[in-house]
A and B are shown apart, each in its own frame.
Chain A
Amino acid sequence: MPATPPLSGFAGADKPEYADYSRCVHCGLCLNHCPTYRLWGQEADSPRGRIRQMQLVDEGRLELGDGFVTHIDRCLDCRACETACPSGVEYGKLVEVARAQIEQHYTRPLSSRIARDFVYRRLLPYPRRIAVAARFLRIYQRSGLAALARGTGILNLLGLRDRERLLPKIESTFFFDDLGETFPAQGPRRARVAFFAGCVAQVTFSELNRATIRVLQANGCEVVVPAQQVCCGALPAHAGVRDVARNLARANLAAFPAGDFDAIITNAAGCGSTLKEYTHLFAADAQERNEAAKFTSKMRDVCEFLADLGLTAPLRKIPMRVTYQDSCHLVHGQKIREAPRKLIRAVPGVELIEMELADQCCGSAGVYNVTETEASLELLALKMESTRATKAEVIVTANPGCILQLRAGAAIHGTGQEVLHVVELLDRAINPAAGRGN
């Protein structure tokens, strides 16, 4: 028997706390809901196993080493386990702080450190740098270089063929130009909302952003796009880079004076989930937490907001068979399951066919498809089997990351299915010309 209890492998702030992880009573009800457990069948890659590993590190019985990092890294952070958990374990919160501990106390290989440093600390926080990087990527995609790379088979050779397909297509105009604008409501004003535009979405989903604004306007919303907004911080927070996430949150709290709006709207479920949990980032400071609480009380996903507000814009008939893929951070992170379905069914002529396991992750999971490509593609293959079985012409979802992944899936697996955001479907039903541009 050891004379002194072993020391915790965690240190400093932002660590898994006993009060949080001890909520897990290891009943195992989460296991069959976890995409990585379903893939590999290993306890270490299940929510229960990951929580146990956090406990073991905290008790000093397991080293915060390669094994721990591998299993925590492999987690999609899709939070399907939270939906399954009867004990109310806030798994997402736990895995984020476990990653914060890894970030502080574990040395990753040099190449990984350089990549993470570049993305989380030097790129995402700076809108201008995102725009510059996007312009370079656009040159690659448009100049024929991409076609050359594909045609010569060099991507196959490098094992990057599928990875390259996961790359977002850079759009011709960026949404950055729309920051600071106010878009008037059509008809009587029913609400005044602020729009959260995202970071990478501004160069890859500016059309989606514009569609979102059009749909809000058409339903009587005045839409303000605050100029000083920055990345929500979801990607750094999920990766354990808490200081960057915190600074981004502070900038957004300043950019969105919550009192001025009926709601703050995002069309990205992944961002929305983090934006709604800004209070988690400020656990240590009551004043900042209060500020964050004011902000989060106004935060709404666009589906949630529109379903509550009620659609008033006339919708034309679109005869179409669609299936809906739950975005994890909407259904599991924000517990919103019905709102997007309600909006889809509201469009005359649209037939919604439920796919099997619609609330299982498609493998996108933020940057997971880049960091854990093999697992991501396996999950994508399973997902495309389910979407194909519905015989739907269109897959509708609620998050840009999922859209990219599903579009890649449709291409890789040749399902021929179009992928749209819920608001893009609504936009088409409201504006006959919509969706023809790209």
Chain B
Amino acid sequence: MDSRLLHDLTKLLGPRAVLHEPEDLLLYEYDGSVEVARPECVVFPRATADVVEIVRLANRHKVPLVGRGTGTGLSGGAIARHGGIIISFSRMKRIVEIDAENQRATVQPGVVNADLSVAVEHLGLHFAPDPSSQKACTIGGNVSENSGGPHTLAYGVTTNHVLSLEVVLPNGELMRLGSAALDPPGYDLTGLFVGSEGTFGLVTEITVKLTRVPEAVKTLLAVFDSVDDATETVAEITARGITPAACEMLDGWTIRAVEDYVHAGFPLDCAAILLIEVDGLREVAEAEAKDVADVCGLHHAREVRVARDARERDLLWKGRKNAFGAAGRFAPSYYTQDGVIPRTKLPATLRRIGEISKKYGLQIGNVFHAGDGNLHPIILFDERNEQQFRDTIRAGDEIIEFCIQMGGSITGEHGVGMEKDRLMTLLFSEADLALMRRVRDVFNPEGLLNPGKILPTSKGCGEIYVRPRPAAAVPSA
């Protein structure tokens, strides 16, 4: 990194807010995904003004900039693919304002998703997007990735909960997008920014909607001896016009993995479980819970259990939300896929995943948002085994290809990042991609913001791309 730039950054932020030693940078080459790339510098702004200055400096030196929250992402969104500066928002984590009457809050990007919900709990409110990593991931990260979660089935994804954004454009311009009032006129630039994976601008403040905690919540656990029965249950619940707040499925292998951690009483010998939540006014929730239980029964559920209290409900959800991490109990590494299919294609897709698992001899666990057809196959591998790692990526790609054949998509909520840019060509034509590129160029013409993400840089469709493994040793200083 240019020593002049380093000097200016240090002068601006102080030495404790600038990391540039190799041993520090090694700790920013990863996130929650399997991707790896090393930045040249990591900075920790404390205020929007710091961000503006950092962006101006980087722009002057034409150095790439990558925003980062807690680094829990699963597509390499917060990794500096082409080097440059990582802006860590871990010290911008203040809840600026809570406006209970108007059900909104303004936060800095480093506020942790679950911390906002905790802070407004006493007002009977919560922040609805609930990614599995919500106890650690930041709202800034949620905005960049347009994160979803189990409850997005009824409540929508992050973009449905963002009212306004303060952003810094790559030239250092500070902009306010959207408005705290609902439905502002003009182009929906806020909507454009949410999910742009840090390629349009750096978000420095977010005004979000807060959602009332429903009067009643019923969480059902339905246990099945066949995966097909479980998936058919999902199809019929929606066919009957019931929209559960959440509808999640875990297969037998995954259940055994998480039960070891949460002790929620998941049956260890079943083929699949559905975790279904209905909420709303007490009478409505109770009636829907009964309907859901009936449908489960019709499709041969071995058992349908309703959580008796908040503690039981939390325990069931803890099982679901920790499913990825629990994989660490069975293999040194895992690769989580994020395909989307129409929910009627669930049985066929799960069978195909089973075949792929057999073909490569890789254990694949399945946990997914069944209600919206968003699959999360977890492929286990040992990263010391180069061949196995290649096979893992191949297996993941084959799953995604099948999702596309089924009329689905390459990612539901984890983002494209550097993991799937090469797969974009499977889904979009050259013309589609060119249009996207033109939109990006309006905000980020020189490609300095999070380069190498979302849009493929070359025609690499379908070819096996082997990620660079952590390479060079740190020179001992």
Give me the interface of A with B, judged by CB distance under 8 Å. 1-2, 6, 22-33, 37, 41-44, 49, 52-53, 56, 60-63, 65, 67-68, 84-89, 356
Contacts and interface: CB of A to CB of B under 8 A. Distances in A.
Interface string B6-28: 00000000000001010110111
Given A61-B473, A84-B135, 15 more contacts: A2-B473, A24-B328, A29-B133, A29-B135, A31-B71, A32-B112, A32-B136, A44-B24, A53-B23, A53-B27, A65-B476, A68-B23, A86-B261, A88-B261, A356-B118
Given A30-B136, A32-B70, A43 B28 contact: yes
Interface in B99-154: 110, 112, 114-115, 118, 133, 135-137
Contacts of B93: 41
A28 B70 contact: yes
B367 to A, nearest CB: 12
B350 to A, nearest CB: 23
Nearest to A28: B72
B243 interface: no
Contacts of A37: 90
Tell me the dominant secondary structure on chain A's binding face.
loop
A37 B70 CA distance: 10
Contacts of A31: 70-72, 136
B326 interface: yes
Interface in B265-315: none
Interface in B16-72: 19, 21, 23-24, 26-28, 30-32, 44, 70-72
B70 A67 contact: no
B470 interface: yes
Contacts of B361: none
Nearest to B118: A356
Nearest to A67: B23
Contact of B23 (A33, A42, A62): A62
Contacts of A49: 27
A27 B72 contact: yes
Contacts of A356: 118
A89 to B, nearest CB: 7
Nearest to A88: B329
B32 A62 contact: no
A87 to B, nearest CB: 3
Q: Which 8 A-B pairs have the closest CB atoms?
A: A87-B328, A41-B90, A86-B325, A86-B322, A28-B72, A22-B332, A25-B328, A43-B27
Interface residues of B, number: 47
A373 B366 CA distance: 47
B70 A44 contact: no
B327 interface: yes
A85 B24 contact: no
Contact of A41 (B110, B261, B474): B110
A28 B31 contact: yes
A418 to B, nearest CB: 27
Given A6-B473, A23-B328, A89-B328, A29 B333 contact: no
A28 B260 contact: no
Interface centre among B44, B110, B135 (most CB of A within 10 A): B135
A42 B328 CA distance: 23
A52 B473 CA distance: 14
B91 interface: yes
A30 B26 CA distance: 19
Contact of B27 (A1, A52, A63): A52
Contacts of B224: none
B136 A29 contact: yes
A276 B238 CA distance: 51
A342 to B, nearest CB: 14
Given A86-B324, A87-B328, A29 B27 contact: no
A41 B112 CA distance: 12
A356 B326 CA distance: 27
B200 interface: no
B72 A29 contact: yes
B27 A27 contact: no
B411 to A, nearest CB: 18
A409 B354 CA distance: 57
Given A61-B470, A63-B476, A44 B110 contact: no
Interface centre among A22, A31, A33 (most CB of B within 10 A): A31
Nearest to B380: A25
B135 A32 contact: yes
Nearest to A22: B332
B83 to A, nearest CB: 17
Contact of B133 (A27, A33, A65, A87): A27
A323 B112 CA distance: 25
A21 to B, nearest CB: 9
Given A30-B136, A62-B474, A87 B90 contact: no
A26 B28 CA distance: 12
Contact of B328 (A1, A68, A84, A88): A88
9 contacts: A28-B71, A28-B133, A28-B136, A33-B136, A42-B88, A61-B473, A62-B474, A67-B24, A88-B328
A33 B93 CA distance: 14
Interface in B71-103: 71-72, 88, 90-91, 93
A314 B118 CA distance: 38
Given A27-B133, A62-B474, A87-B327, A44 B27 contact: yes
